[in-house]
Structure 1
Amino acid sequence: MLHNATNGFSSTNLIGVGSFGSVFKGILDDEGGTIVAIKVLNLQNPRASKSFMSECKALRNIRHRNLVKVITSCSSIDCQGNDFKALVYEYMSNGSLEKLLHPALETEQQQPEIQNLSLLQRINIAIDVASAIDYLHHHSHEPIIHCDLKPSNILLDDDMTAHVGDFGLARFLTKFSSHNQSSSVGVRGTIGYAAPGKHKIC
């Protein structure tokens, strides 16, 4: 079904590429012809399966208007008999915040209708993202740290409402019984990432 929805995962349906896989726009063969975003994991990357499991674990118990909604997940075998893992999300028609903030990074083909964000839109997006993070840290079933928050992981719907996505590196916090206890973890997130236009402050 996912193969048909994306015309065989055609490059013309490709809308994004990340560390652990590629995202395709697809149209499901249902009554309404639902438009979705399908993230296909690159299982050649040894960390992709772990990312898939982390994302499934994070998304199965969280519900918030500013988080990308997952419709379903797929763990199966593809047409060639290889392992296949994918996540199906609600489609965000206005793409990522990164593409709107830095349109020069995209070709005209990928971003045909470039629009400038007004100050009010930027403030509303910041509020949406803050609401999502507050929910994850303080109001979800188990506190979750996103670990890879960046403009390319903030997606915008028809109404320019921001949704935080990509929970492949999410970390679940355990509640310690003592304030003196601490947890030490390695660096997580996009290694060496700096948003375009961001300058180092000495």
Structure 2
Amino acid sequence: MLNIAIDVASALDYLHNHCQTPIIHRDLKPSNILLDDDMIACVGDFGLAKFLPEVAQTSSVGIKGSVGYIAPEYAMGSKASTQGDVYSYGILLLEMITGKGPTDGMFMDNLSLHHFAKLALPERVMEIVEPQLLIEDTEVTQGNGNHINTRNRMHECLILMVRIGVLCSSESPRERMCMKDVASKMHAIKNRYLGVRIHRDIQVRSQMLDGDLSYLSHY
């Protein structure tokens, strides 16, 4: 899940900041995220995409996108922007973590996926996480000699990811992050989670090369 979230963030960062002409996707949602044979996520379906200069020259582009993933300012007549894509990414990230889509039946009245996640920060985040993610977490930590530390890091990373999802899906575009920062922080979260495992693996390899088999006592 983390790798997919990073791939999508990196793709949007590329579209917004590294193309010769910035591109706004305008329809980011789960069905437009494709996985290749190596489980690398790719952003697809550019049917609603617009070049940023083209949007600036248009008086009104209308409401485009999918219900639940459209930035709220679009409904008030605002033009498409990179911040609209950031909103969609925030909703997508929260959906990946919680397993609940923005149009889930539980979201009515003043409760939305954004507020559902925000209310859980930080103490109750583990209560809203998709159970399958916790099962996968258990499978990973069981094979780790320092499983308590690794599990704690996993929990910390999930809290950080929920924070990013909440910030990105803020109602006000000014409160949202930019995709460059999102991609950077998502990579940092991955490094934080994998840090212990990477350090352990490097240490084990070094000991094996030196003929030191004492590392086996830790497993």
TM-score by length of 1: 0.33
TM-score normalized by the length of structure 2: 0.31
Q: Would you tell me which structure has more helix in proportion to its own residues?
A: 2
**If you compute each CA radius of gyration, which structure gives the higher value, 1 or 2?**
2
Higher strand share: 1
Higher relative contact order (CA 8 A, sep 6+): 2
